[in-house]
Amino acid sequence: MKEKKSEYEKVLQAFALAKSFIKQQIELGFDEVYAQMKTKTNQRPPTSLDEFYHQIKNCKRCHLGYSRTNFVFGSGNHQAKLLLIGEAPGREEDLKGEPFVGAAGKLLDRMLAAIKFKREEVYIANILKCRPPENRDPRPDEIETCKPYLLQQIKLIQPKIILALGRISAQVLLQTKNSLGQLRGKIHDFNGIKFLVTYHPAALLRYQQYKKFAWEDLKFLRKEYEKIVDS
């Protein structure tokens, strides 16, 4: 009886290890994995953003892949020290296949210029790569499906500082339910990377009164960025 129990425990342990390995691969954005029997697939960890883009550009892992016009991977400097992360593509982004190209994108460009950044110096991405219908908020299942892609981008870029644009991107990456007001004005840690939070440019277009607070966030960002560059 003890021998049977021991074998059963071994099976459970093996299953747990296999489950953990598959989960890790999924979080890294891979649909295929290497089995212990060493059956090879054509998929392998990407070594650059360009390679990663070509691996995932035809993604259909969730329903948004079937309704999008374009897959919005991200854009900017592949070795950027500053990474900006929004929520999801909007209508203009979906049409052009680039993040922040609509009215909110134009405001973001002005925000960056105000603290002496050019768009081509930074990298810009979103939690989701495909536009949700009617620009609604991303759903939990969509976030969990797409989040591994962003994590892999962060791994490849290796930024020194991240700025979350909006409540959703901040909450998703920091794994918190704290409000935007509670998250602003502080330095958070994301896997050893400095992480700051501010308003999404789209929110600033709707609520002008938030711009003075966003300006404080931007000055704070510039100050922290200079500390990193000078160190």
Residues of the chain with CATH 3.40.470.10: 49-230
Question: How much is the CA Rg of the chain, to the nearest whole Å?
Answer: 20
SS3 165: strand
Does the pTM of the predicted model rise above 0.85?
Answer: no
Q: What is the pLDDT along the chain (231 residues), one digit of tens a residue?
A: 444 445 555 545 555 555 554 554 455 444 444 333 233 345 789 999 999 999 999 999 999 999 999 999 999 999 999 999 999 999 999 999 999 999 999 999 999 999 999 999 999 999 999 999 999 999 999 999 999 999 999 999 999 999 999 999 999 999 999 999 999 999 999 999 999 999 999 999 999 999 999 999 999 999 999 998 877
Query: Amino acid identity, residue 44?
Result: R
Locate 52 and state its tokens: 């990663």
Task: Report pLDDT for 13.
Answer: 57
Tokens linked to 17: 């290890």
Q: Kind and range of the H or E element at 151?
A: helix 140-157
pLDDT score of 100? 97
Angle at 196 between CA 84 and CA 148, to 5 degrees: 55
Please tell me the predicted confidence (pLDDT) of residue 62. 96
Q: Which pLDDT does position 44 carry in this prediction? A: 83
Phi, psi of 56 (to 5 degrees): -115, 0
Q: What's the pLDDT at 19?
A: 55
CATH superfamily of 49-230: Uracil-DNA glycosylase-like domain (3.40.470.10)
Nearest to 64 by CA among 124, 123, 150, 134: 134
